[in-house]
């Protein structure tokens, strides 16, 4: 049986993560910071305790492609812990942000 990652259950989220995985490291870092901004500013989520908890519990081996980038790992873990309706909303906002980042202003 194939291992199903938490984000494989949402086809849009999976597509966004796969797109981000294919980007170079500076672009991944920019998107990670953007995701955190979306979560805190646009969705007005208070994530300070979640972010602090993620930083304190970061003592496992790097197994996933995004684990080596703390901002990316943190932003993905924050998304993972959201209720499904908010997760769908953040996916939409990430897609909009990526479209603007790569196709806006050209």
User: What is the residue extent of each domain of the chain?
Assistant: 26-103
The percent of residues above 70 in pLDDT, for the chain, comes to: 78
Sign of the alpha-carbon dihedral angle for 85, 77, 7, 2? negative
DSSP H/E element including 59: none
Tell me what the mean pLDDT of segment 28-55 comes to: 76
Predicted structure pTM score: 0.76
CA angle 25, 10, 102 (to 5 degrees): 35
Confidence of residue 65 (pLDDT cuts 50, 70, 90): confident
CB 69 within 8 A of CB 23: no
Note the pLDDT of residue 20.
92
């Amino acid at each position: 049986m194939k291992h199903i990652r938490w984000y494989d259950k949402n086809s849009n989220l999976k597509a966004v993560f796969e797109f981000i995985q294919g980007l170079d490291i500076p672009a991944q870092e920019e998107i990670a910071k953007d995701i955190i901004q979306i979560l805190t500013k646009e969705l007005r989520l208070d994530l300070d305790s979640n972010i602090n908890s993620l930083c304190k519990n970061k003592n496992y081996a790097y197994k996933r492609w995004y684990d080596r980038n703390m901002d990316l790992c943190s932003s993905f873990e924050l998304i993972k812990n959201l209720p499904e309706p908010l997760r769908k909303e953040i996916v939409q906002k990430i897609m909009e942000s990526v479209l603007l980042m790569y196709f806006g202003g050209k």
